[in-house]
Amino acid sequence: MASKRFYQIAKVVLQFGLDDLIPGHWIPWYAKAGRYSLFWLRNRHTDKSRGQRARLALETLGPVFIKFGQMLSTRRDLIPADIADELAILQDHVIPFDGKIAEATILASLNIAAIEEIFTDFDSVPLASASIAQVHTAKLKDRGDEVVIKVIRPGIEPIIESDVELLRSIATVVQKWLPDGKRMRPVEVVEEYQKTIFDELDLVRESTNGMAIKHNFSDSKALYVPHFYTEYCTRDVIVIERIYGIPVSDKAALLAQGTDMKKLAERGVEVFFTQVFRDSLFHADMHPGNIFVSTQRPEDPYYIGIDYGIVGTLNAQDKHYLAANFIAFFNRDYRKVAELHVDSGWVPMDTNVDDLEMAICSVCDPIFQKPLDEISFGHVLLQLFNTARRFNMVVQPQLVLLQKTLLYVEGLGRHLYPQLDLWSTAKPFLENWMNEQIGFKAFYTKIKNNAPFWAEKLPDMPDLIFNTLSQLKTLPELQHKQFTELKAQQLANQKSTLYGMIGSTCFVIGVLLVFNAMPIYYELVAFAVGGIFWFKALSKLIQKD
């Protein structure tokens, strides 16, 4: 299955002429020879631009590749503008599937005989179509609320399964054969991605994620999350409040309504860091097709976020180390950054901290005191990655979503307000968060939160102390017993090994006697003695078990 899919991918790449996008001096001779050998797979779209060919190829290959194109579309500093413009179409203008199929899915999922039982003004022409699902507009019959109905693409799961299986096969080869394979942990990264994308296929999970983030931002002036009608949510269909706003990619419309672009860009950074560090739950699919800006209060703008199929989470330890690293970066305390990497286990414990500090300094120091339009964090990350290779830094799969989302946030900030200083915008937030995690205030908060639990367990404390002291009293006797048993087990192992070696030696001697035509009773004695010692070795093993 993997080989068949690999051929299909190669076929699409060559038939859309994507190999022409790679500079000739980058391609080794054996790759060129392989290309010429596939003479029947020629570019069939010479009439289209390179951007169109890239977009159509990704659409042909399916959702895994479409999502890759969505991320690339936000990185105009890494890819040419004409390709980025075409890939931006993938954000919400993927080729739709038949509206009748969508209607049939809605009927089956909601267990109704006709769409009119629940909805009015249902539009079979999709409002938008993405890689995993598409949405149709309607009104709720009983309330009159305007809604959108999101429907999963039919037959999408087997396609994703085959693509993920292919990625796993490639990752296994990379991890086994490339020098940096084990450090990069590609298999774990693919497994993390598999969990993420299959979660996106379950729309019940999306509604749960959306409602959780809506609760977290219920009093926020920076982000609005639409209402989810949970009574109409299934694995394949969800019904959501319809929102009206300006796509964040439509900068001309935002400027036309007088939007404060600086405040809007800063609030994007605020929303991201709030989700990551305060809530430990962040929207991890923040491409422009999922982010809108309200037409209300352009002087005090806020975002409207949709599509919560992919979210990321971080545990307390990861959050602490990330925040501490960010603050150390802001303060140019590269010594602290190096020490944190060692303490967290991201680099081996025997790493020379002085060398790591100097390497980080050489990469990161030049990025400060510059506006965002002169800084490419994509390039900085690439340089850090190359630097990390020298110190055997291990890839953290749980941070892959966070890294991807940070790239989205950078692309969004670069688009809206190129002069935005991402670091100075985020620094006060992170410092406040760290102050809440350490010091007297954090100590008081932990005591306050744990006080009810301690009060509940307080009456049991005398019994717990008595039981603990009783166990400590018998501990020396128990340790002596365990030591005696362990010593006897080791002695049995040694005897079993010795008897086995003697038995094998006797057997070999018996075989040699046979080949040298010695009297038969010599051979029988050797085999008999060998058998006796093998039996004794087996007996010792049985006694040990």
Active site residues: 285
**Other Cβ atoms closer than 10 A to 425:** 19
User: Quick one: DSSP state of residue 188?
Assistant: H
* 208-211 long-range contacts, CB within 8 A, separation 24+: 209/281, 209/308, 209/309, 209/311, 210/240, 210/308
* Residues forming a β-bridge with 238: 150
SS3 letters for 304-328?
EECCCCCEEECCHHHHHHHHHHHHH
SS3 281: strand
Q: What are the b/e assignments for 426-463, b being 16+ CB within 10 Å?
A: bbebbeebbeebeeeeeeeeeeeeeeeeeeeeeeeeee
Phi, psi dihedral angles at 22 (to 5 degrees): -90, 125
Length of the chain, in residues: 545
* Cα 503–chain centre separation: 56
Secondary element (H or E) of residue 291: strand 291-293
Q: How many angstroms separate the CA atoms of 140 and 173, rounded?
A: 52
SS3 220: coil
With CA atoms as reference, report the closest residue to 509 among 535, 536, 529, 495.
529
Q: How many angstroms separate the CA atoms of 224 and 242, rounded?
A: 12
Q: How many angstroms separate the CA atoms of 350 and 360, rounded?
A: 17
Tokens coding 462: 């005398």
DSSP string, 107-164: HHHHT-S-GGGTEES--SS-SEE-SSEEEEEEEETTT--EEEEEEEPTTHHHHHHHHH
Tokens coding 269: 């950074």
Q: How many angstroms separate the CA atoms of 33 and 228, rounded?
A: 55
Q: How many angstroms separate the CA atoms of 127 and 156, rounded?
A: 20
CA distances from 303 to 88, 261, 528 (A): 19, 12, 86
Cα four-point dihedral sign 277, 280, 286, 290: negative
Q: How many angstroms separate the CA atoms of 304 and 33, rounded?
A: 51
